[in-house]
Amino acid sequence: MTPLIWLAGAVVLGVAAVAIAWPAWRDYRARESRDLNAERYLAWRGRAPRSSAGSMSEGLTLAERRKFYVAAALGVLALVCLAVFFTVS
């Protein structure tokens, strides 16, 4: 019975990690897509900033970064639970 508890813990922690990280990733990609579209539009209109050779990418926000850190910690705990499951069974 105990190995199944470890396996259930690994599954629950893995699902929680994905549930936390997926919306943050989706928001980040949507913002990047909007920024790219705005940059293309400004370039098409001839009003693109000339000083910036790269993109207007700002990277991850602090909230998104925190969500990824929490999701990574939950993922590591899920892997630990999985390792314990294989050790005990």
Query: What one-letter code names the amino acid at 82?
Result: L
User: How far apart are the C-alpha atoms of 82 and 86, rounded to whole Å?
Assistant: 6
pLDDT of residue 43: 72
pLDDT of residue 10: 97
pLDDT of residue 29: 87
pLDDT of residue 56: 55
| Mean pLDDT for back-to-back runs of 10 residues, the chain (89 residues) | 93 97 92 75 72 63 95 98 95
pLDDT of residue 30: 85
Classify residue 13 by its DSSP letter: H
Contacts of 37 (CB under 8 A, 6+ apart): none
Longest dimension (CA), the chain: 68
**Domain ranges, ordered by start, for the chain:** 2-47+59-88
Specify whether the CB–CB gap between 55 and 35 falls below 8 A. Answer: yes
> How wide is the angle at C-alpha 31 spanned by C-alphas 18 and 69, nearest 5°?
35
pLDDT of residue 52: 55
